[in-house]
């Protein structure tokens, strides 16, 4: 697969409160990847004035990614979400996550408690796409392909565009270093998706938390994670 070389400035991102959203520019309008939380709405909306957002791609249906989907929709954007996360909207426990490492056990309990309490404002996606719809974004005017990356949730998806893999929570920089996500509905599916990321070998990983990272900086963390033997799936 050929990848254009991307300079740092070409990744359009908005990062606040450990959440990072991205914009892809398209031939007929732009696409926002993930939507942040209540506290990021105002500054994000200001940032979005630089763009003509017609589409919103949700990497998965966790509240810290889809919270502002309803607002974006009210402002005229169309929402795209994997059909496999349709029932996860406002229902975190529908796909109960497990810690991907022992030291995330307590964090995982807290996630399940807060996930049961905090529910995003209701929205219905305009398009629920399936794993066979990898070319959907091309039909909407984007030089981009949808990459299913299940594991963190069943419907988790990334976007590969011009050497950048926008990967949601399939990989993370949340602690300021390249790392696997602390939680996964299926650690084994997560590992499969890490293999997919390895085979794609993008120039950049643009994660849902933390700043974009060069793939070469993340490769070791991915290789290490693939050596873990999970007793559960």
Minimum gap (Å) between residue 163 Cβ and Zn ion: 24
How many residues touch Zn ion under the rule CB under 5 A: the total is 2
DSSP state of 122: P
Q: Give the residue with the Cβ less far from Zn ion, 169 or 203.
A: 169
Q: Give the residue with the Cβ less far from Zn ion, 151 or 202.
A: 151
Residue 209 contacts Zn ion per CB under 5 A: no
Q: Give the residue with the Cβ less far from Zn ion, 85 or 169.
A: 169
Minimum gap (Å) between residue 169 Cβ and Zn ion: 4
| Nearest-5° Cα angle at 215, 144 to 148 | 40
DSSP 3-state assignment of 196? helix
Q: Which residue has the tokens 């590992």?
A: 191
Minimum gap (Å) between residue 74 Cβ and Zn ion: 23
Q: Give the residue with the Cβ less far from Zn ion, 67 or 215.
A: 67
Name which of 8, 4, 5 is nearest 212 in CA terms. Answer: 8
Minimum gap (Å) between residue 60 Cβ and Zn ion: 6
Which residue stretch of 45-53, 128-136, 164-172, 213-221 sits at the interface with Zn ion (rule: CB under 5 A)?
164-172
Q: Give the residue with the Cβ less far from Zn ion, 62 or 89.
A: 62
> 92-122: string of b/e by CB count within 10 Å (b at 16+)?
bebbebbbbeeebeeebeebeeebeeeebee
Tokens of 224: 């290490």
Q: Give the residue with the Cβ less far from Zn ion, 26 or 115.
A: 115
> How far is residue 157 CA from its own chain's centroid?
6
DSSP 3-state assignment of 202? coil
Residue 176 Rama label (left phi>0; alpha psi -120 to 50; beta): left
Residue 136 near residue 80 (C-beta atoms within 8 A): yes
Minimum gap (Å) between residue 183 Cβ and Zn ion: 7
Which residue stretch of 33-41, 90-98, 165-173, 225-233 sits at the interface with Zn ion (rule: CB under 5 A)?
165-173
Minimum gap (Å) between residue 153 Cβ and Zn ion: 7
Q: Give the residue with the Cβ less far from Zn ion, 161 or 172.
A: 172
Residue 189 near residue 150 (C-beta atoms within 8 A): yes
Among 30, 66, 85, 169, binds Zn ion (CB under 5 A): 169
Query: Nearest to Zn ion by Cβ — which residue?
Result: 62
Rounded-to-integer distance, Cα 209 and Cα 6, Å: 20
User: Which residues in the 56-115 window bind Zn ion by CB under 5 A?
Assistant: 62
State the residues that interact with Zn ion by CB under 5 A.
62, 169
């Amino acid at each position: 697969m050929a990848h254009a070389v991307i300079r740092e400035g070409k990744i359009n991102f908005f990062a606040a409160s450990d959440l990072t959203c991205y914009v892809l520019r398209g031939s007929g309008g732009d696409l926002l990847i993930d939507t942040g939380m209540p506290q990021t709405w105002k500054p994000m909306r200001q940032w979005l004035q630089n763009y003509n957002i017609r589409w919103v791609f949700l990497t998965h249906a966790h509240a810290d990614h889809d919270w502002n989907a309803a607002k974006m929709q009210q402002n005229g954007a169309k929402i795209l979400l994997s059909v496999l996360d349709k029932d996860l909207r406002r229902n975190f426990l529908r796909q109960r996550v497990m810690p991907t490492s022992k030291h995330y056990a307590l964090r995982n309990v807290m996630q399940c408690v807060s996930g049961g309490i905090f529910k995003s404002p209701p929205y219905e996606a305009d398009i629920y796409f399936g794993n066979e719809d990898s070319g959907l974004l091309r039909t909407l005017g984007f030089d981009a392909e949808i990459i299913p990356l299940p594991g963190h949730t069943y419907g988790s998806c990334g976007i590969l565009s011009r050497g950048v893999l926008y990967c949601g929570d399939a990989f993370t920089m949340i602690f300021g270093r390249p790392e696997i996500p602390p939680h996964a509905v299926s650690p084994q599916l997560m590992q499969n998706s890490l293999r997919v990321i390895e085979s794609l070998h993008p120039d950049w990983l643009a994660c849902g938390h933390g700043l974009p990272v060069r793939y070469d900086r993340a490769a070791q963390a991915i290789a290490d994670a693939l050596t873990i033997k999970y007793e559960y799936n």
